[in-house]
Amino acid sequence: MYKMEEKEGKKVFNFQGRMDTSACSGIENEVAGQVEKAGQPVVFDLTGVDFVSSAFLRLCISAAKKTGPGKFQVANASPQIKKVFKIAGMDQFLSVQ
């Protein structure tokens, strides 16, 4: 589902596959705990992700709140996934690249 690494002073979560409700419910508490302990900027790398559900969007909002302003980023999102963030209005307050 995901791997975590430290890269260039950031905690990077590399997600894989479908981030649907089932997948997110299995990792939500673990990821939230890691984000809370990070003490540095956090990146959710979506290179290997082909689908996100509202549960994943909730995980992103939670991570952004825990890290603070400007310290959370969604990276390498496909055009389809960027569209989901845009439709949800989340591109207005999250960095989605």
Segment 52-92, tens digit of pLDDT: 999 999 999 999 999 999 999 999 999 999 999 999 999 99
Q: Percent of the chain scored above 70 by pLDDT?
A: 100
Instruction: Map residue 7 onto helix, strand or coil.
Output: strand
Query: Is 1 a residue whose pLDDT tops 90?
Result: no
Instruction: Map residue 71 onto helix, strand or coil.
Output: coil
Which CATH number does the domain 2-96 belong to among 3.90.79.10, 3.40.1550.10, 3.40.640.10, 3.30.750.24? 3.30.750.24
- Calculate mean pLDDT across residues 24-34: 95
Side chain identity, residue 55: A
Strand runs labelled E in 8-67:
10-19, 42-52
User: H or E stretch including 70?
Assistant: none
